[in-house]
């Protein structure tokens, strides 16, 4: 293990205690106030105080057991940089530290009174830039499932199929398995035995698609070029540049990947910060706090799915997925105590009262009051104005 190092970082810019527990990553383990996880072939430990993020790193003795042994960055002259040296850069990428979170919270609070009300108790929540493949498999596991069980399943994947990186006490830490590692003949049966249920088949089929059917580097080609991945060489293509919409469509072709999982991968694994995964929580939030139509149907349609995302993108802007994660966390049962606790700093409740009289509150209420199922469907169609869409709109109204 290296010595502890530190990055100057306030708790409002990043709170690892919340960010690492809110259902984005399922692999971090807290041991005695330290968060531990294998990231890109190294065992990372984090702890935080009011002013600093402290970190240390341990590399496996046998570097070849790492999934990406050749991925360590090289200097321009070809000399390999000491491996530890890129860990700070890795953290900066993983937590997307280039974004000013306080400024973003201010912006979302200004355009959304509900965000302004909920966010003060949930500061420092960031969207993680995770490995695309890990994100894909993790959220295939997430379907119709609890966060605790998802974590359990992801842990089992690593233990049984991922390379061992190191130990903390008696606890073994593995990296996430490669797609190839999950394509074996007996994997599906084994995963069922391990309690994956019907997701076992999805995982194996998707692993086969990514490692055998899709071209090399396909998943990485879906990464937002403005938010590039870690240690991923972008392969220039003759195709038109990738968009969020196309990345989403491509992911939908995979087994076990529907619109919600595809959005999770877009947001947390591919750097598309406008992606808003609409799950049961976000649907509850949309209905309860944003006057979305009370649907009689338990499962909402594809049009409904997109209308919710479009609505939030309209309110929160191009980083809507980041704002969504704050309200999502505030809505989690495991954070219920935090949501209802009296805020420590005085003055916040005063701000909320003042906000009730503000211009944005009034206009937002007016906008929300008109929302109904019909309105939602129309709104969904409005961004485009081609012929196909307008025909669709007529159909809905008739």
Partner DNA sequence: AATGGACCTTGTGC
Partner DNA sequence: AGCACAAGGTCCA
Binding mask 9-48 for DNA (x = CB under 7 A): -------------xxx------------------------
Alpha carbon distance 215, 220 (integer Å): 11
Closest separation between CB of residue 157 and DNA, Å? 15
Instruction: Say which of 76, 260, 296, 298 is annotated catalytic.
Output: 260
Inter-residue contact 16 to 34 (CB < 8 Å): no
Q: Could you count the other beta carbons within 10 Å of the beta carbon of residue 9?
A: 21
Closest separation between CB of residue 268 and DNA, Å? 8
Which listed residue (208, 231, 232, 303) binds DNA by CB under 7 A? 303
Inter-residue contact 194 to 245 (CB < 8 Å): no
**Which residues within the stretch 223-262 sit at the binding site for DNA (CB under 7 A)?**
254-262
Which CB atom, from 43 or from 300, has the smaller least distance to DNA?
Answer: 300
Which CB atom, from 243 or from 301, has the smaller least distance to DNA?
Answer: 301
**Which residues within the stretch 175-194 sit at the binding site for DNA (CB under 7 A)?**
192
**Which residues within the stretch 270-299 sit at the binding site for DNA (CB under 7 A)?**
277, 279-282, 297-299
Which listed residue (90, 101, 264, 323) binds DNA by CB under 7 A? 264
Closest separation between CB of residue 279 and DNA, Å? 4
Q: Could you count the other beta carbons within 10 Å of the beta carbon of residue 41?
A: 20
User: Which pairs count as long-range contacts for 391-397, CB under 8 Å and 24+ apart, including other chains?
Assistant: none
The strand order across the sheet containing 29-31 reads 5-8, 52-58, 42-48, 34-39, 29-31
Alpha carbon distance 68, 381 (integer Å): 44
**Which residues within the stretch 96-155 sit at the binding site for DNA (CB under 7 A)?**
142-150, 152
Inter-residue contact 24 to 128 (CB < 8 Å): yes
Q: Quick one: tokens of 88?
A: 């700070």
Alpha carbon distance 354, 117 (integer Å): 11
Helices (H), 177-225: 187-193, 199-208
Report the chain's terminal Cα–Cα distance, integer Å. Answer: 67
Which CB atom, from 232 or from 303, has the smaller least distance to DNA?
Answer: 303
Binding mask 305-344 for DNA (x = CB under 7 A): -------------------xx--x---xx-----------
- Has 302 been annotated as catalytic? no
Positive or negative torsion for Cα 214, 230, 126, 24? positive
Q: How many residues lie near DNA (CB under 7 A)?
A: 46
**Measured in whole angstroms, how far is the alpha carbon of residue 120 from the centre of its chain?**
21
Which CB atom, from 57 or from 251, has the smaller least distance to DNA?
Answer: 251
Closest separation between CB of residue 220 and DNA, Å? 21
Which listed residue (49, 74, 81, 198) binds DNA by CB under 7 A? 198
Q: Which residues bind DNA (CB under 7 A)?
A: 22-24, 142-150, 152, 192, 195-199, 202, 254-262, 264, 277, 279-282, 297-299, 301-303, 324-325, 328, 332-333
The residues annotated as belonging to the active site are 260
């Amino acid at each position: 293990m290296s010595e502890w190092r530190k990055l100057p970082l306030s708790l409002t810019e990043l709170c690892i205690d919340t960010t690492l527990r809110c259902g984005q990553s399922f692999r971090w383990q807290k041991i005695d106030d330290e968060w531990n996880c294998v990231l890109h072939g190294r065992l990372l430990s984090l702890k935080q105080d009011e002013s600093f993020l402290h970190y240390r790193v341990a590399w496996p003795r046998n570097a070849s057991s790492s999934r990406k042994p050749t991925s360590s960055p090289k200097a321009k002259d070809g000399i390999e940089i000491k491996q530890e040296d890129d860990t700070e850069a890795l953290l900066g990428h993983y937590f997307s530290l280039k974004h000013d979170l306080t400024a973003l919270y201010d912006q979302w609070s200004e355009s959304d009174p509900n965000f302004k009300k909920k966010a003060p108790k949930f500061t420092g929540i960031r969207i993680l830039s995770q490995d695309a493949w890990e994100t894909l498999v993790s959220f295939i596991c997430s379907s119709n499932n609890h966060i605790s069980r998802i974590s359990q399943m992801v842990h089992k994947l690593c233990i049984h199929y991922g390379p061992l990186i190191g130990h903390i006490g008696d606890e073994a830490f593995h990296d996430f398995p490669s797609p190839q590692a999950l394509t074996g003949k007996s994997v599906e049966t084994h995963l069922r035995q391990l309690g994956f249920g019907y997701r076992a088949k999805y995982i194996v089929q998707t692993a086969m698609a990514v490692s055998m059917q899709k071209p090399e580097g396909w998943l990485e080609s879906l990464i937002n070029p403005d938010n590039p991945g870690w240690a991923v060489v972008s392969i220039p293509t003759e195709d038109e540049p990738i968009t969020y919409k196309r990345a989403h469509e491509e992911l939908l072709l995979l087994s076990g990947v529907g619109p919600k999982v595809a959005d999770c991968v877009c947001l947390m694994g591919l750097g598309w910060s406008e992606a808003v995964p609409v799950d049961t929580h976000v649907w509850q939030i949309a209905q309860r706090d944003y006057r979305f139509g009370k649907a009689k149907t338990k499962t909402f349609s594809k049009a409904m799915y997109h209308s919710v995302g479009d609505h939030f993108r309209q309110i929160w802007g191009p980083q809507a997925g980041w704002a969504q994660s704050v309200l999502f966390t505030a809505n989690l049962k495991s954070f219920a105590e935090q949501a209802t606790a009296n805020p420590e700093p005085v003055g916040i409740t005063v701000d909320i009262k003042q906000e009730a009289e503000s211009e944005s509150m009034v206009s937002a209420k007016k906008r929300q009051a008109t929302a109904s199922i019909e309105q939602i469907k129309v709104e969904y169609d409005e961004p485009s104005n081609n012929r196909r869409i307008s025909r669709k709109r007529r159909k809905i109204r008739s």
